[in-house]
């Protein structure tokens, strides 16, 4: 006999917003994305997310593997500035259409460790 679940479910992700690519005055570097994670406002708070996985989930027109949803996995590499923004590298570069859209920062890496 299996015991029932005790207490509330724990959310293992936090939302984030894609701000753009890392850039200088005249160049941009699309292999590194800048992400603002909800509730993270200082460089010190970013340290906990270093190395954590991120997932950009989007909906496609054509079904693949029985689903319209697809995912690009990435990893938080380091802080960017002092205001809680992080730099992240994704398996393939994020599309420009994704700017200012949401993504998920996965705070507990489990069976979806794919990168």
Return the percentage of the chain with pLDDT > 70, whole number. Answer: 88
Domain total of the chain? 1
Q: What is the pLDDT of residues 38-47, one digit of tens each?
A: 999 999 999 9
* Residue 47 main-chain phi, psi, to 5 deg: -55, -35
Is residue 73 scored above 60 in pLDDT?
A: yes
Q: Which domain holds residue 61?
A: 13-106
Residue for token pair 């994305």: 33
Instruction: Flag whether 81 is in a domain.
Output: yes
- Please give the Cα distance from 19 to 35 (Å, whole number): 6
pTM (predicted TM-score): 0.82
Tell me the pLDDT of the chain averaged across its residues. Answer: 87
Instruction: Flag whether 7 is in a domain.
Output: no
Question: pLDDT: is 115 or 103 the higher one?
Answer: 103
Say what the pLDDT of residue 21 is.
Answer: 95
Q: Per the structure block, which two tokens stand in for 17? A: 């917003």
Is residue 79 scored above 90 in pLDDT?
A: yes
Instruction: Flag whether 4 is in a domain.
Output: no
């Amino acid at each position: 006999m299996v015991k029932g679940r005790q207490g509330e479910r724990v959310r293992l992700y936090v939302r984030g917003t894609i701000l753009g690519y890392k850039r200088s005055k005249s160049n941009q570097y699309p292999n590194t994305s800048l992400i603002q994670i909800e509730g993270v406002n200082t460089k010190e708070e970013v340290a906990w997310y270093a190395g954590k996985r991120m997932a950009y989930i989007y909906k496609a027109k054509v079904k693949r593997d029985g689903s319209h949803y697809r995912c690009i996995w990435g990893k938080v590499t380091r802080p960017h500035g002092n205001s809680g923004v992080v730099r992240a590298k994704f398996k393939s570069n994020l599309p420009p259409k994704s700017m200012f859209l949401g993504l998920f920062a996965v705070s507990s890496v489990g069976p979806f460790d794919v990168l």
